[in-house]
Chains A and B, each alone.
Chain A
Amino acid sequence: MKTTAFDFEKITEKYGNDKTRLMDMLIDIQQELGYVPQEALPVLARKTDTSQAWVEQTLSFYHFFRRQPSGKYTVFLNKSVVSWMMGRERVARTFEEEAGCRFGEVSPDGLIGLFDTSCIGMSDQEPAALINGKVFTRLTPFRVREIVRNMRSGKPVTELSTSGYGGGRNALEVIRSEVRNNIQRKGPLLQDNYQYGEVLRQKLKTLSPEDVIREIQLSELRGRGGAGFPTGLKWEFCRKAKGERKFIFCNADEGEPGTFKDRVLLTEYPELVFEGMTLAAYAVGAREGILYIRYEYKYLEEHLHTVLRKLREENLLGKDIAGMQGFDFDIRIQYGAGAYVCGEESALLESAEGKRGEPRFKPPFPVEKGYLGFPTIINNVETLCDAVKIIHFGSEWYRSLGTEASKGTKVLSISGDCRYPGIYELEWGYTVNDILDMSGAEEVQAVQVGGPSGTLIGPEEFDRILCYNDLATGGSFIIFNQRRDLLRNVVLNFMEFFIEESCGSCVPCRNMPWLLKQKLEKILNGHGVWKDLEDLESWPGIMRINRCGLGQTAANPVISSLRNFRALYEERIQKGRSFDEGFELEKAVEESCKAVGRVPLI
């Protein structure tokens, strides 16, 4: 066994044998070996003074952690809705043919492992895959054949593809990625009218922490991750909370299918993100910051570290920041390992503490008892960028943008059936129709606003406006044209996503999406009766009692499609039948009769 020689203790020691750094240890092992071997577990348990079960519960939670060797090249092909729409099927088939194994397996020679994964934040350039952590976008059967050929000739993962680098910083030495930014429309946030560091160096000279919080409150900035909590209020709570240490978290775990704006912000504007964290630290009196970023964006690691180093050199991080005596703050990067639920802030904290990403009960809220039990701010990437610009240009300026009730702008991730998918920064208040025009979408059947946990709306609602009191969104905006089968291609895919991504803590979230999916399949297969529609309507009510936002919204694809596209369901319901479970005796006995060698007698 070559792994017995591997020095697991060196890895635990790198993180001070600290059990709250278990994620980092597992990620390092995974990175080194391509999987986490069983013999690592006792070592990790002993060195971190936990049990093997403790290590295992974390290890088994995240789908990028492999327990078995998963190929010299491990391919994770995205199975999100947009990936299917853009031709995933042919790409997957070609991978299987070329690699000689099916998805979920490793090729017989151990060279290539093929696996599915949920949305990897590339919806504007699908189908996309992660191969050994590197992103490959806009895959075609032709490119897959090329990639597999290069694998067979033993090329390193950086040389598998011959397509050029994506624009902007994607071409930097430290990224070298074919990912494209596709920034289609810049608003006040994305406009390059600001030199990073100015707020820390200039504005904070005359602003006390209380002034900063007041300014943010006056701007009426609300969380841009989707929940829309007033940012200034959050900061004020955290400032007032008592704690020996305080933490600033930036939530870069954007896992809502169809969202990819944080990826672009972190590629092009990381200085602004880190400055936002530093500003929040100044406001609440924190000295430690953590960027929690999804594993899918690990290809940005070197880039982000380079920026952090630069900021330290320029005295925008570290000790006595920008010459302010006693203002110390630094940031480390924490990776996830593949779990949508970790975007929920308390699950994110659990994960950052080295545990399963299961949401906590609230209260207490993170601002009182967050990371390691200390008061903690968790803000979305975009929110932190907004905060910097607000302090720079003033709350008055920010309040002049947007609508009466929703101030400022929102960065949207637009994908699906349109000519110009990508990033659009818009003031709140545009209608869905405006956005469809902008993105070059035609013959639109439906739009999914806010990702699977959001709403599916049809043309009669395209005059609704994007804002907190009409169509609120964390940024995901997926367009479906007339050719799409909404139930089979969209709703079913979303339900599979929620089944996969439930953390399993709350019973309704663990079971209901699965039951709803079964009902849906029954209807799609022509066995539906009216009672099934009644069930689909009445059952999801129980989802309210789930602990977190993911669980509470996990039935939304069914609820909103049933509300807005009821005809699609009704046309598939059998008329004149009140009961049909779709049971077919012939099929049910087929296998057992074969096994014992008899002819079925029906």
Chain B
Amino acid sequence: MNKKVIATTSLAGCFGCHMSFLDIDERILDLIELVEFDKSPIDDIKKFTKECDIGLIEGGVCNSENVEVLKEFRKHCKILVSFGECAIMGGLPAYRNTIPIRECIEEAYLKGPSVEEANEEGILPNDEELPMLLDKVYPCHEIVKIDYFLPGCPPRADLIWQTLYALVTGEETEIPYEVIKYD
């Protein structure tokens, strides 16, 4: 059997979901028997080298680069999974959604206590190399079609493992209530 190909990325996230992924501990040895990784921080492959079976997305979408990466993932992955609160609902970064983007930028570069003196000329980052900020932080499924959602902040390693195992082997899985209960 050909190994399934997995890609992962962290958009507007904190890498906590990837950390939780690593918490599958020694099962990573079983996993690597079943899959190979393409574009992912885990193996540091920056660009897609082939078509993938499964894409795992951490984090929401806060800038134009996130949009581009997410669309790339959709193009190259048969199945896309939003994993973690930020990917599913925007999470902590989405707290800024109630504040106009202009105010956010001013607070970050002009008025905030840590930049007041450091940025006397009042420079705002506007180099065209930089990604453009979106008006708000979007959940991934408002940009591209997402096939599955793994809740949690972060999702538990058991949940990530069981989901991947099921997707890779095509076997149905039963996820115990405790694994997806978060209150």
Q: Do A and B bind each other?
A: yes
Chain A residues close to B by CB (< 8 Å):
578-579, 581, 583, 585, 587-602
- Pair B125/A596 contact, Cβ less than 8 Å: yes
Residues B135 and A600 in contact, CB atoms below 8 Å apart: no
Binds A, one of B4-12, B15-23, B34-42, B138-146: B138-146
Of B48-56, B98-106, B148-156, B159-167, the one contacting chain A is B98-106
Docked pose: A594 CA to B125 CA in angstroms: 12
Closest residue of chain B to A594 (Cβ to Cβ) is B102
Say whether B28 faces chain A, with CB atoms less than 8 Å apart. Answer: no
Which residues of A have CB within 8 Å of B127?
598
B100: chain A residues at CB < 8 Å are 591
What 7 A-B pairs are tightest by C-beta distance, nearest first?
A: A592-B133, A598-B126, A589-B132, A596-B124, A579-B145, A596-B126, A595-B102
Q: Are B125 and A592 in contact, CB atoms less than 8 angstroms apart? A: no
Query: Which single residue of chain B is at the shortest CB-CB distance from A579?
Result: B145
In the assembled complex, the Cα of A600 lies from the Cα of B135 at a distance in Å of 13
Judging by beta carbons under 8 Å apart, are A581 and B134 in contact?
no
Q: Which residue of A lies closest to B141 (CB)?
A: A581
Question: B134: which A residues are within 8 A, CB to CB?
Answer: 588-589, 592
- Whether B101 contacts A591 by the Cβ 8 Å rule is yes
Chain B: residues with CB nearer than 8 A to chain A?
64, 67, 100-102, 105-106, 124-128, 132-136, 138, 141-145
On whether the beta carbons of B138 and A591 are closer than 8 Å, the reply is no
Taking a contact as CB atoms under 8 Å apart, the answer to whether A581 and B142 are in contact is yes
Q: How far is the CA of A160 from the CA of B126 in the complex (A)?
A: 55
Task: Point out the residue from A579, A581, A592, A599 that lies within 8 Å of B101, measured CB to CB.
Answer: A592
What residues of A have a CB within 8 angstroms of the CB of B133 in the complex? 589, 592
The answer on a CB contact under 8 Å between A592 and B142 is no
> Given the known A-B contacts A591-B100, A598-B128, A601-B128, are A581 and B143 also in contact in the complex, defined by CB atoms under 8 Å?
yes
Besides A595-B102, A599-B128, 18 more A-B contacts (Cβ < 8 Å) are: A578-B145, A579-B144, A579-B145, A581-B143, A581-B144, A583-B138, A588-B136, A589-B133, A591-B102, A591-B135, A592-B105, A593-B132, A594-B102, A596-B105, A597-B124, A600-B132, A601-B128, A602-B64
10 contacts between A and B (CB under 8 A): A578-B145, A581-B141, A585-B67, A588-B138, A591-B135, A592-B101, A595-B106, A597-B124, A598-B132, A601-B132
- Supposing A585-B64, A597-B124 touch, asked if A592 and B135 sit within 8 A by C-beta, the answer is yes
Set of chain B residues within 8 Å of A579, measured between Cβ atoms:
144-145
Residues of A within 8 A of B138 (CB): 583, 588
Chain A residues with CB under 8 Å of B64's CB are 585, 589, 602
- Nearest A residue to B143 by beta-carbon distance? A583
Distance in angstroms from B64 CB to nearest chain A CB is 6
Residue in A590, A594, A596, A597 with the greatest tally of chain B CB atoms within 10 Å: A596
Residue on B nearest A587 in the bound complex, by CB: B135
Q: Which residue of A lies closest to B139 (CB)?
A: A581
By beta carbon, the residue of chain A nearest B67 is A585
In the bound assembly, the distance between CA atoms of A585 and B106 in angstroms comes to 22
Contacts of B141 in A (CB 8 A): 581
Q: Tell me the smallest distance from the CB of A335 to a CB of chain B, in Å.
A: 34
Assembly CA distance A460 to B56 (angstroms): 50
Q: Determine which of B67, B126, B143, B144 lies in contact with A597 in the assembled complex, contact meaning CB atoms within 8 Å.
A: B126
**A596, B63: Cα distance in complex, Å:** 14
Q: Nearest chain B CB to A515's CB is how many angstroms away?
A: 12
How distant is the Cα of A598 from the Cα of B134 in the complex, in angstroms? 14
Nearest CB of B to A595, in Å: 4
CB distance from A596 to the nearest CB of B (A): 4
Whole-angstrom distance between the Cβ of A523 and the nearest chain B Cβ: 15
> B residues within 8 A CB of A587?
135
Q: How far is the CA of A599 from the CA of B132 in the complex (A)?
A: 10
Tell me the smallest distance from the CB of B175 to a CB of chain A, in Å.
21
Residues of A within 8 A of B126 (CB): 596-598
Which residues of the other chain, B, contact A597 by a CB distance below 8 angstroms? Answer: 124, 126
Q: Which residues of B contact A592 (CB under 8 A)?
A: 101-102, 105, 132-135
Among A595, A597, A602, the most chain B Cβ lie within 10 Å of the Cβ of A595
Contacting residue for B135 out of A578, A588, A598, CB 8 A: A588
A595, B142: Cβ atoms closer than 8 Å: no
Complex alpha-carbon distance, A590 and B133, angstroms: 9
- Distance (Å) between the CB of A530 and the closest chain B CB? 13
| Complex: A585 Cα to B126 Cα, angstroms | 17
**A602 closest partner in B (C-beta):** B64
Give Cα A593 to B131, complex, Å. Answer: 10
Residues in chain B near residue A602, CB distance under 8 A: 64
Chain B residues with Cβ under 8 A from A581's Cβ?
141-144
- When chains A and B are docked, how far (Å) is the Cα of A351 from the Cα of B170? 56
Contacts of A596 in B (CB 8 A): 105, 124-126
A599 shortest CB reach to chain B, Å: 8
Q: Is the CB of A595 within 8 A of B105?
A: yes
| B127, B134, B138 — most chain A CB neighbours (10 Å) | B134
What residues of B have a CB within 8 angstroms of the CB of A594 in the complex? 102
Interchain CB contact under 8 A, A583 and B142: yes
Give the chain A neighbours of B135 by CB distance below 8 A: 587-592
CA distance A593 to B134 in the complex (A): 9
**Nearest residue, chain B, Cβ from A589:** B132
B113 → A minimal CB distance (Å): 20
How far, in Å, is A594 (CB) from chain B's closest CB? Answer: 8
CB contacts (< 8 Å) of A590 on chain B: these are: 135
How many Å lie between the Cα of A137 and that of B172 in the bound state? 64
The CA-CA distance from A599 to B127 in the complex, in Å, is 10
Q: List, in ascending order, chain B residues with CB within 8 A of A583's CB.
A: 67, 138, 142-143
Residues of B with C-beta under 8 A to A578: 145
Which of B101, B102, B132, B143 has the most A CB atoms < 10 Å from its CB? B132
Q: Provide the bound-state CA to CA distance between A36 and B141, in Å.
A: 44
Residues of the B chain whose Cβ atoms lie less than 8 Å from the Cβ of A591? 100-102, 135
| Min distance, Cβ B69 to any Cβ of chain A, angstroms | 13
Complexed CA–CA distance, A313 and B136 (Å): 66
Min distance, Cβ B60 to any Cβ of chain A, angstroms: 13
Task: Looking at the assembled complex, report how far the CB atom of B129 sits from the nearest CB atom of chain A, in whole angstroms.
Answer: 9
How near does chain B come to A600, taking the closest CB pair, in angstroms?
A: 6
**Alpha-carbon distance A579/B70, docked complex (angstroms):** 15
Task: Report the minimal beta-carbon distance from A27 to chain B, rounded to whole angstroms.
Answer: 32
Given A583-B142, A589-B64, A595-B124 contact (CB < 8 Å): yes
User: Which residue, of B100, B125, B145, has the highest number of chain A Cβ atoms within 10 A?
Assistant: B145
What B residues does A600 contact at CB under 8 A? 132
Question: In the complex, which residues of chain A have a beta carbon less than 8 angstroms from the beta carbon of B106?
Answer: 595
Question: Which residues of B sit under 8 angstroms from A588, Cβ to Cβ?
Answer: 134-136, 138
Smallest beta-carbon distance B123→chain A, Å: 9
B25 to chain A, nearest CB (A): 36
Complexed CA–CA distance, A238 and B102 (Å)? 60
Q: Tell me the bound Cα distance from A600 to B63 in angstroms.
A: 12
C-alpha gap A209/B144 in the complex (Å): 68
* A residues near B143, Cβ cutoff 8 Å: 581, 583
Name which residue of chain A comes closest to B145, CB basis.
Answer: A579
A230 to B144, CA, bound (A): 53
- Residue of B at shortest CB range from A598? B126
CA distance A334 to B138 in the complex (A): 46
